[in-house]
Chains A and B, each alone.
Chain A
Amino acid sequence: MGELAVHVAHLRRIFKVPEREAGLRESVRSLFHRRYREVRAVDGISFDIEPGEVVGFLGPNGAGKTTTLKMLSGLLHPTDGEVRVLGETPARRRREYLRRMSLVMGNRNQLQWDIPAADSFELNRAIYQVPWPEFRRTRDELVELLDLGDLVTKPVRNLSLGERMKVELAAALLHRPAVLFLDEPTLGLDITMQKRIRTFIAEYNVRHSASVLLTSHYMADVEALCQRVIIIDRGRILFDGDLATLATSLAAYKELDVTLAGSGADLSGYGEVRSRDGDRVTLRVPKAQTPLVTARLLADHTVLDLTVEDPPIEDVIELLFAAARPPA
């Protein structure tokens, strides 16, 4: 113990991407003379993850999330910087390391299409050299936790997207990895299935105290699972810390939800009106003025209900990106 699950320092990955203008002429020219552009997919990021921690990795498309996950799981060699996972250098792809981690990508399957998942599970058992009794125990536990039932005996091609994700997760966890990298595990799933997967990940984390690094486009995933988030944009870390403090420390305003007795009153003098639904009005007010505005509202109107809240986390993150990117 005491060893960090993940240690990343000044990590950088640069891709060389061929570049050409549109059109046939340019295509022909690029056959002989290629121009390359350097893309800094990951540009000097540093962070640590403790054993048993669940961390959300957020950022827009192309921010460098997947590239980072791939470097952590040893698929990509970093251009520069240091990566240690469970004390190992992933890019060396030592078997001892690969046996203790798992990578799940929501948009790609690892299970073979034509055969039932149960057969793929057995192949994984052999590949990860899991002893039979342990394999059976883990498999039965996963079947129960994910409510797989007879899904494992059907050919994978006959499963729905959500069912497939569940068996994919089971396949990825049969060897009980100590570190789990999840890239958009709930992509394209309906709300119920998203919840189910979320509950499962939380349960797995608690039962086996595995470290989890999760990327997702769904804020709900992150809010439900992660205390800590790392927000990344254009290969750089914008924020690393507690999800709750992100909202309180970064948002320069609060949202006031006011329900008035008589409808129709114009509240634009108190703050920015974000939405109006009958008698219920949502106001955005600078944080420092919140006590004053609240007092004035209560004095001037018959207020039936009033709540003061931090803005939704999506809005805060949007603010963060807006601040990081200079206006075009």
Chain B
Amino acid sequence: MRTLRLIALHLRVVAMYEMQYRVNFFLQLFQSLLATGTGLVVLALVYGQVDELNGWSRPELLVVLGVFTVLGGLVQAVIKPNVVQFMEEVADGTLDYVLAKPVDAQLLVSIRAVRFWQAVDILVGAIVMSVGAAQLRPGPGLLAVLGFLAALGFAAVIVYCFLLLLATTAFWFVRVDTFVESFDGIYQAGRWPVGIYPSWLRIGLTAVVPVGFAVTVPAQALTGQLSWPTLAGAAALAGTLAIVTRVCWRLGLRHYSGASS
């Protein structure tokens, strides 16, 4: 309850701040439409040649593109700004103030910075996803939608934990921005269902950097291709990553020596 109140309060402050910069909204909308438009054109080109791609029809790939955009929006709007701010604070020592507050430091570090207008991506992604889902025959049932929502939740947890885990290494190595920057490049691979990649890359995108897995599983759920073991696998991965991240965070805090005075 208290956690939700803190999140709401931080969101309010960020919103008040970002409202001052209305022009960012239009820039972001333009950028988001451009990126999604490019994605749609590529899809159109591919399906001009073939009817299906490794078992994925056009509406199904629209769903994948939608999930990719939604999750990407979440990363850019919430996860990355927070992680970047945290790394900067480790480097310049202002993390001291976070640690001196009577609230869980991992929570505080994860909710402070929000790029409000980046959330436009989430909206655009949701629209693309809905358009794709509406063209599916048969349409998704209630169970599929529930499975999709659960899988999307797990995907968010997986991506958040993965990025925070990368950032936590800052406690030992201080300068780790490049790790997190390279995530953006790898995330692009999530644009396509993980099944279309050769097996070595598929394993990489599932186990090493689980973005492919994170995007594909919710899309599978909505398009009726999901097996329950896969969903259970996503849940297990999310749970395990959450625990590992927590443990590493605690170890990191013990190791933190602050930037010198």
Contact = CB atoms under 8 A, between A and B. Distances in A.
A110 interface: yes
B121 to A, nearest CB: 22
A148 to B, nearest CB: 19
Contact of A75 (B2, B17, B96, B108): B96
A122 to B, nearest CB: 7
Interface size classification for chain B: 20 to 34
B258 interface: yes
Interface string B1-30: 010011001100100110000000000000
Given A66-B261, A76-B258, 19 more contacts: A67-B261, A74-B99, A76-B256, A93-B99, A95-B102, A97-B102, A103-B96, A107-B261, A109-B94, A110-B97, A112-B13, A114-B17, A115-B16, A119-B13, A123-B9, A123-B13, A126-B5, A126-B9, A127-B102
Contacts of B258: 70, 75-76
B99 A75 contact: yes
Interface in B90-123: 92-94, 96-97, 99-103, 108
Contacts of B31: none
Contact of A108 (B2, B94, B99, B103): B94
Interface of A: 15, 61, 65-67, 70, 73-77, 93, 95-99, 101-103, 105, 107-110, 112, 114-115, 119, 122-123, 126-129, 183
B257 interface: yes
10 contacts: A67-B261, A74-B100, A75-B100, A95-B103, A96-B102, A98-B102, A99-B102, A123-B10, A128-B102, A129-B102
Contacts of A183: 261
B254 interface: yes
Nearest to A96: B102
Nearest to A128: B102
Nearest to A126: B9
A44 to B, nearest CB: 19
B177 to A, nearest CB: 18
Nearest to B10: A123
Interface of B: 2, 5-6, 9-10, 13, 16-17, 92-94, 96-97, 99-103, 108, 254, 256-258, 260-261
Most A CB within 10 A of own CB, among B9, B101, B103, B260: B101
Contacts of A93: 99
A67 B260 CA distance: 8
B97 A73 contact: no
Contacts of B6: 126-127
A77 B260 CA distance: 15
A90 to B, nearest CB: 10
Contacts of A67: 261
A122 B103 contact: no
Nearest to B8: A126
B96 A119 contact: no
B13 to A, nearest CB: 5
A77 B102 contact: no
Given A115-B17, A127-B6, A108 B100 contact: no
Nearest to A100: B102
Nearest to A97: B102
Contacts of B100: 73-75, 98, 101-103
